Amino acid sequence: MDVSSKTSNDISFDDFKEQIISDYEIAFLSRTCSLLGRKEVLTGKAKFGIFGDGKELPQLAMARSFQNGDFRSGYYRDQTFMMALGLLKPKDFFHALYATTDIDKEPMSAGRQMGGHFLTHSLNPDGSWKDLTKQKNSSADISCTAGQMPRLLGLAQASKIYRNLKGLDSTKFSVNGNEIAWGTIGNASTSEGMFLETINAAGVLQVPMVISIWDDEYGISVPAKYHTTKENISKALSGFQRTDEEKGLEILKVNGWDYTALMHVYENAADIARQEHVPVMIHVKELTQPQGHSTSGSHERYKDHKRLEWERDHDCNKRFKEWILESGIATNEELESIEKKIKRIVREAKKEAWDEYLEDLLSAKKTLIDLIDKAALKSANRNFLNKLKNDLIASEEPIKKDLAITSRKSLRYLLGETSAEKQALVDWTAKFLKDSQNTYSTHLHSENENKATKIKAISPVFKNDIEQVDGRIILRDNFDKLFEKYPNVLIFGEDTGAIGDVNQGLEGMQEKYGNTRVADTGIRETTIIGQGIGMALRGLRPIAEIQYLDYIFYAMATLTDDLASLLYRTAGKQKAPLIIRTRGHRLEGIWHSGSEMGGLIHLLRGIYILAPRNMTQAAGFYNTLLKSDEPALVIESLNGYRLKERKPSNLGEFCTPIGKVEIIKEGTDITLVSYGSTLRIVEKAVKELLEVGIDAEIIDAQTLLPFDLEKDVLKSVRKTNRLLVIDEDVPGGCSAYLLNEIIEKQGAYRYLDSAPQTLTAKAHRPAYGTDGDYFSKPNREDIFEKVYEMMHEVNPKNYPSLR
């Protein structure tokens, strides 16, 4: 559907006069911030700037249709939208540029993200939810263009869930599912797979989502002809357009400089999405980017004279002003008066923000100078100390780094000296470093009382006469209890619903709880994770299922850039307690034997990574996680679903602790650390080692992130004085991580009589077949011989060479 400028005639002049003046003020305010923000970067006060100039008018229109309870999932051009909602003040804007670490002054991220990354606070100080239905909401931005799209799908789906799932308490989260998820993206970024996958999934799911595409015909320096088929995204996606016979998306097109047409199209889009739960795509064309992509370069380098002239003529703020004057809404003198006032407001906000940014630093500088001066008086190295002091005095606008460097270098000149003045400098430096570090390093995980590592362990209870069942039965029946206990728990993924997952750990659950709570999805891992993140941001407890661990890499960008960093980059102001369920480790073939734990551990800091050895342990992890509110990845053992286990009588209640290892067998000669499917092979090998007089202690790591918070492995090594880490990841993968944790972090090197070693899979992926597995990953004989070799080194007489 095209919306022409003729729709301007549909708008009442009297109804819009006050709104128009207000909108012009916001548009001019935002543009002035952009212009002055660029100058702050170029003068060195800020490190980088990326602004929303040229996109002001459509964002004003979007803001007009945005209601309480709605969510934005956008990107770094959306400052006008945030200003129009009253969620971003000019002083906030500049504090973000300066990276102020005070969350009250820089409410978007406390200086953890560069400017242009926006969010609202969803949580109270104790981590509990605010009433999201009574505020306008923005999920936290990430820099990766199109990275906001998967999350957008889940934010929209939450409204569908709240509208259609009966008996669900939606207090604080939804009013009958009326909320819209509003997405924004640049035209060039629609080339990303995340965008296209989200568009397709939205059309399938029919969720209340409005995507705005800001089209200025470039992606940094690259024109649209290199990005988009037909050089027009709405043309390229015309096959998604809904019809009277077929569901799909509503596709609207509008020029980004036409104020009244924009207002009309956004009202229309909101009505369709809010009432009908139909996704809408708005292609906002003929936009400009007056300052180029960012402060890292000038667009004069890649736009010719003709294009630059066109952009000046079609600048949306310029066209808006011309329309106001032509319509007689205001005179040129009135608008110039408004502009003059706003320029003054922005300049004052910039100065106030910079003064506030410097205030604590200048105070700390004064204190440090005094401490160094006093220490120098008692030191033989006073000349060197005085030089450091004078250099700091000459720094009129110091940053924390300057203070840290000066204080730490000062202590080098006081080596071997003893004085009260030196101790005062030592104490100040230690406190300054600790306090400064905390401003950058908190909230990787929850810091509230219900954090997952504080959930107490509850052991599974077994009756004496209990029969053994397939492990999948324990999972299935435990999920049944969880669905009964938590009405806001949902699970979804490929083959999750109708057949109850590929290993039937959800057998019969869809029939019992319906296809909203136990749902099948298409083959689209990225948006499966996006569904989970968005729904978790809105108070639901989703479990997103990735069929096999090897396929999680389709979603890795969303997991690492969005979910893993969410709590950190919002300084604890947003959370998404998503549980990712998958299965991996030993089976058959390259793509169904995944154990790429080292990569996951390094890329997913901020998400708990749990590797249970059996299904009872896995069920306990799900029970623990649903008592907490943190994200986690649970990797079930792919070859364990048909293995027999005792069935606990307290399903849904027992809790496997997170951050604690489990001692499977005590021993005296060597400590063996493993996890997952490999641990069962270790157990068999250890029985054979006993036959040759080697008594090994077996420890199940079970949670890899975090690992062994109580240092039980250290206690074991103190006893055995030898350590072998065994896993089926590649050399230098998870085993190297575990060695770092045990040897360096826990300090186990003090108690070792032999070099710590690892036994891993080969460097290649596992080959197909039983023999492929045997010669690709550690087997029972490998483990036996490795341990025996280590004992032979210790006592060759008792353990003569095998070969």
Strand boundaries in 230-302, DSSP class E: 250-255, 280-285
Count how many residues are written for the chain.
803
| DSSP helix/strand/coil, 320 | helix
Whether 136 and 67 have beta carbons less than 8 Å apart is answered as yes
Alpha-carbon distance 400 to 360, whole Å? 10
Which residues touch 600 (CB under 8 Å, ≥6 apart)?
552, 609, 633
Q: Give the residue from 271, 278, 266 showing the smallest Cα distance to 62.
A: 266
Which pair of tokens denotes residue 504?
Answer: 């039937």
Which contiguous run of DSSP H or E holds residue 366? helix 332-377
Backbone dihedral region for residue 592 (phi beyond 0: left; psi -120 to 50: alpha; all else: beta):
alpha
Residue with tokens 């896993």: 727
Count of C-beta atoms within a 10 Å radius of residue 18: 10
Sheet holding 696-700, edge to edge: 662-665, 696-700, 670-674, 723-726, 757-759
Identify the active-site residue in 283, 443, 592, 792: 592
Backbone dihedral region for residue 258 (phi beyond 0: left; psi -120 to 50: alpha; all else: beta):
beta
CA quadruple 383, 388, 389, 391: dihedral sign: positive
**Is 227 noted as a catalytic residue in this protein?**
no
Alpha-carbon distance 714 to 739, whole Å? 11
The values of phi and psi at residue 520, to 5°, are -85, 150
How far apart, in Å, do the first and last CA atoms of the chain sit? 78
Q: Give the residue from 382, 355, 390, 443 showing the smallest Cα distance to 630.
A: 443
Alpha-carbon distance 77 to 716, whole Å? 55
Most distant pair of Cα atoms in the chain: their distance = 103
Alpha-carbon distance 631 to 533, whole Å? 9
Alpha-carbon distance 493 to 268, whole Å? 33
Q: Label residue 468 exposed, middle or buried (CB < 10 Å: 0-12, 13-18, 19+).
A: exposed
Cis before 706? omega within 30:
yes
Which residues touch 44 (CB under 8 Å, ≥6 apart)?
none
Whether 699 and 712 have beta carbons less than 8 Å apart is answered as yes
Q: Label residue 11 exposed, middle or buried (CB < 10 Å: 0-12, 13-18, 19+).
A: middle
In sequence order, what DSSP letters do the residues of 23-71 get, joined into one string? HHHHHHHHHHHHHHHHHHHHTTSSS-----TT-HHHHHHHHHH--TT-E
What amino acid is encoded at 616 in this protein?
T
For 36, 94, 462, the CA distances from 39, given in Å and listed in that order, are: 5, 11, 69
The values of phi and psi at residue 244, to 5°, are -65, -25
Alpha-carbon distance 621 to 662, whole Å? 14
In a 13 Å sphere around the CA of 487, the CA atoms on its Cβ side amount to: 8
How many helices, marked H, and strands, marked E, lie in the chain? 26, 22
Q: Label residue 363 exposed, middle or buried (CB < 10 Å: 0-12, 13-18, 19+).
A: exposed
| Residues with catalytic roles | 592
